[in-house]
């Protein structure tokens, strides 16, 4: 895969199961239940999983769920569209969170206007100092 992420091998998977067999079995059972056909078909669940895997940036999840989605008949175009949805949601979250910074700017400006001698300096908010 890369120097950062080792290739997932059968030997590593077996070792992971052997090191915590009860937890591994429970996770496997949980995963089977989550991806079983229900209100959403398995195919749709794998499309969602591919998008989420890109947002969480898990290379193992990206490969595994892409492979599973293709096996379930998902098209390359469907997967790419789902990946774009995930990208928009991640970018949208950064954009939406700008409200926090804008609010803090307003509070800092108000504090500086009300008490200029006590206005926080850069990095002094929330007990941090530079």
Report yes or no: 40 and 28 within 8 Å, Cβ to Cβ: no
Residue 10 included in any domain: no
Average pLDDT over residues 49-56: 96
- Could you tell me the two tokens for 106? 């307003």
Residue 1 included in any domain: no
Residue 104 included in any domain: yes
CA distances for 78 relative to 32, 47, 87, angstroms: 23, 8, 14
Closest alpha carbon to 101 in 112, 109, 91, 89: 109
pTM of the model: 0.74
Residue 130 included in any domain: no
What pLDDT is attached to residue 115?
74
CATH number, domain containing residue 68: 1.20.1290.10
pLDDT per position as a tens digit, 63-119: 999 999 999 999 999 999 999 999 999 999 989 999 999 999 999 999 998 876 655
What pLDDT is attached to residue 88?
95
d(CA 47, CA 15): 29
Residue 51 included in any domain: yes
Average pLDDT over residues 33-53: 97
Residue 106 included in any domain: yes
List, in order, residues 6 or more apart from 12 with CB less than 8 Å away.
Answer: 6
Structural domain boundaries, residue 53: 39-116
Residue 24 included in any domain: no
Residue 16 included in any domain: no
Q: Domains in the chain: how many in total?
A: 1
pLDDT per position as a tens digit, 5-20: 888 899 999 999 999 9
């Amino acid at each position: 895969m890369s120097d950062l992420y080792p290739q997932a091998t059968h030997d590593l998977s077996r070792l992971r199961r052997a090191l915590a067999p009860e937890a591994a079995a429970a996770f496997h059972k949980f995963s089977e239940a989550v991806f079983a056909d229900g209100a959403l078909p398995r195919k749709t669940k794998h499309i969602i999983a591919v998008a989420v895997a890109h947002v969480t940036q898990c290379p193992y999840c990206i490969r595994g769920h892409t492979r599973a989605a293709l096996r379930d008949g998902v098209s390359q175009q469907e997967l790419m569209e789902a990946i774009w949805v995930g990208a928009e949601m991640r970018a949208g979250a950064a954009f939406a969170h700008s409200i926090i910074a804008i609010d803090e700017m307003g509070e800092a400006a108000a504090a500086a206007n009300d008490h200029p001698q006590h206005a926080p300096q850069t990095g002094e908010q929330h007990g941090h100092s530079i």
